[in-house]
Structure 1
Amino acid sequence: MEKEIRIDSRYPSIDDLRKRAQKKIPKFAFEYLDGGCNEDVNLHKNTSQLREVELLPYYLNKHTKSDMRTELFGRTYSAPFGIAPVGLQGLMWPNAPEILAKAAFEHNIPFVLSTVSTSSIERISEITQGNAWFQLYHPAKDELRDDLLRRAHDAHYEVLVILCDVPTFGFRPRDIRNGLAMPPNMSLGNIVEILKKPQWAFNTLKYGQPGFETLKPYMPKGMDLKQLGKFMDATFSGRLNEDRIAIIRDKWKGKLVLKGVATEHDAELAIRLGLDGIIVSNHGGRQLDAGESTIRPLSRIASLYGNDIIVMMDSGLRSGPDIARTMASGAKFSFLGRSFMYGVAALGDKGGDHTISLLKTELKQVMEQICCERTSDFENHLVR
């Protein structure tokens, strides 16, 4: 049975959760979560240009009820949005991936685990009873790639997401100042920040220092921070190409999704290689400050290729109306990352449940207001 909607009335918006999160977690963790790259131009464009999308309400149409259920890859989810993959989730709030995976499972929406999150493939599968998705950062060595694919298959993940928008690390001034570039540095200032956030510090002690749990079987024991940085640099080669994708398509028998698509060219390539879906994304504005916001290429790609491949979107969504705008622009599904991390950082164990409930409530209100009965009908309400 799907979990009931429960909202903490003190935090009736994602912005309320963001403000609360900023007060509860150390500055270096909040800025890692909240920031973009370079001057944050694309970070802000993602949301501002998405909110230029307008919807038409047909008030005199016959309307019975609005149903948020959405079919995707053979499953029917309770809403057309999921939890996007986020790296180092446990740094921002201890045990965050487990909290969010549990909430996603109970609310019947997808949770996507990142290779570099702080929980393992096996643990998230256990929490979600095999209903999670796994996002693969492409390894430099074929043996590691194949073993990660094997583990995801054995843990019953049905959807594999491969990431194409991190051929190099984004230039993120906040993280550099805070010592969160690789290798990270726990400066005196960061230690002071930890002491100022006792609940975060206590929970970190309770759950242990966050680490790359999925990668632990491949990491030499006893590495210091400098050695960890060198290990990560040597282990991953984020640059995908047609040959690498074709090999993964051949090996992975489940659904395969390409995340980070920003051009018609890459969408065409995904179709030609037999992928099942694409996520139009610019990594939350964290990689290319001079690029487009996500809503611009989404509209073009969905118009051209929406009948040939499942088109989804993330980056910039912060509310139920934002999800509606994205669906009206042609996406079949959407994902949010920061919004859920704000929720967990603000409310701890209750944050996932609250954030999903809030987004469902907002989205349902929009559907009722514009007389939209099914999520597939959103496109009929787009102001063109």
Structure 2
Amino acid sequence: MDSRYPSIEWLAERAKKRMPGFAYDYLTGGCFSEVNLARNTSEIRDVQLQPHYLRDFKGASQETTLFGKTYDAPFGIAPVGLQGLMWPKSCEILAKAAKQHNIPFCLSTVGTASIETIAEITEGDFWFQLYHPAEDELRDKLLERAWAAGCKTLVILADTPTFAYRPKEIRNGLSIPPRMTARNIMQMMGRPRWVWEQLLAGKPEFQTMKPYIPKGLNMKHLGLFMNKTFSGRLTEAKIKPLRDKWKGNLVIKGIVNEEDANKAIALGVDGMIVSNHGGRQLDSGESTIKPLNKLAKALKGKTTLLMDGGIRSGVDIASTVASGADFTFLGRAPMFGACAMGAKGGDQALQILKRQLQQVMEQVGCERVEDLPSHLIEQ
């Protein structure tokens, strides 16, 4: 591990110096006034853990079994759109790091690497997050490609029923696809390493969607095509055929209340991710940790419960698992690594998170990840 950047915060600081401002804003920004973005992390850090110092302790293991597979830690890399815009080839960098560290990597439909590329890097051991297409034919083609590539866990989105209002992205011209303004070009000129890496990598594109995008579209018409291609609101009518067609694990991302959770269970999903899309959709909503705690109590033994949003450290991972999550996902933290250190950054970020989590488990005297809830101090 590079001792110059021993925390995610220092990686974020380094990343900001290497990225154009519009790219950094895209990675770090939330919706409206970014109230819920801040709340996500701050309320995780309100969680307190109880140490036990005088018990026998045989050492801590982070190994966690999820959907029949044993991972080396209780966290994975969350799906992030447009990674290649933030740092060239960052999608591939993080997939490689996830494979090396034996944790799950989840590819977004609007990621900048294709299903097949990520399958090759991970040897078929990856998850795929589906933005639900408006047309059944495209939906089925994407499912077939993911399954053929070896993917066994499909994530479907419930937390993006509408386009978000994100002032920083509006100001920076970051729509789908991004458009370059004079202001953005000036920012790029101040980040020559980013420009050079982009030239080597080629412009970022929606590689998974590329076969279905008509050739020759200008930026405006490509944006219109992407907007028409996806149907944001997830309904029971959309989930049922997905459950019938997908023979692997089906996970719904964005569940934050018991009513939706029970509907999801009745529809036969295998798990759900408590999420508010990283504070990028609803500023007046709850942080992720609060509904997690409620759902963990209400649904104990009924489903597999995961969480993402606001997690920035190994301490945050421990607090989230202690609050009832069977597993966690992080999006921004690994991206900070890739943006700060390029090809070495994914490994750096994952080493930091593992080391921090290990220290917490050893400090409180917790030998197994699944025992972390016994260290939770109820508030």
With the length of structure 2 as denominator, give the TM-score of the two structures: 0.99
Structure 2 residue corresponding to 1:228, chosen from 222, 232, 249: 222
Q: Deviations over 1:143-198 (max 9, x none)?
A: 00000000001001010000111111110000000000245321111111111101
Give the counterpart of 1:78 among 48, 72, 78: 72
Which runs of structure 2 are paired with 1:212-227 in the superposition (5 Å)?
212-227=206-221
Query: Residue in 1 aligned with 2:352?
Result: 358
Residue 287 of structure 1 corresponds to 281
Equivalent position of 1:340 in the other structure: 334
Residue 176 of structure 1 corresponds to 170
Q: Which residue of 2 aligns with 1:4?
A: none
Counterpart for residue 259 of structure 2: 265
The 2-side partners of 1:190 and 1:46 are apart by: 29
Counterpart-to-counterpart distance in 1, 2:177 and 2:366: 49
CA distance in 1, matches of 2:368, 2:268: 28
* Counterpart among 45, 62, 65 of residue 56 in structure 2: 62
Once residues 39 and 306 of structure 1 are traced to their aligned partners in structure 2, the CA distance between those partners, rounded to angstroms, is 35
Contact residue 135 and residue 161 of structure 1 kept, 8 A: yes
Please list, as runs of the form range in 1=range in 2, the aligned pairs for 1:132-151 lying within 5 A after superposition: 132-151=126-145
Displacement after TM superposition at 1:306 (Å): 2.7
1:244 paired residue among 231, 238, 242: 238
How far off is 1:296 after superposition? Answer: 0.4
- Letter of the structure 2 residue corresponding to residue 20 of structure 1: R
Distance in 1 of aligned mates of 2:92 and 2:154: 19
1:318 aligns with 2:312: yes
What's the TM-score once normalised by structure 1's chain length? Answer: 0.98
Q: 1:28 aligns with which of 19, 22, 25?
A: 22
Task: Give the letter for the 1:75 counterpart.
Answer: K
Q: Which amino acid aligns with 1:218?
A: Y
Q: Which residue of 2 aligns with 1:128?
A: 122
**Alignment deviations for residues 85-122 of structure 1 (CA, whole Å, 9 cap, x no partner):** 00000000000110000000010000000000000001
After TM superposition, give the deviation of residue 262 of structure 1 in Å.
1.1
Aligned equivalents of 2:20, 2:260: Cα separation in 1: 38
Q: Deviations over 1:311-366 (max 9, x none)?
A: 00000000000000000000000000000111100000000000000000000000
Q: Which amino acid aligns with 2:110?
A: V
Cα deviation per residue 1:273-308 (whole Å; 9 max; x = unaligned)?
Answer: 110000000000000001000000000001111311
Q: Which amino acid aligns with 1:303?
A: K
1:47 to 8, 28, 41: 41
CA contact (8 A) 1:183 1:230 kept: no
Question: Does the CA-based 8 Å contact 1:18-1:343 persist in structure 2?
Answer: yes
Alpha-carbon separation, structure 2, partners of 1:237 and 1:225: 20
Unaligned runs of 5+ in 1: 1-6
Alignment correspondent of 1:304: 298
Question: Number of aligned pairs?
Answer: 378
CA RMSD of aligned residues (A): 0.6
Which letter maps to 2:359?
Q
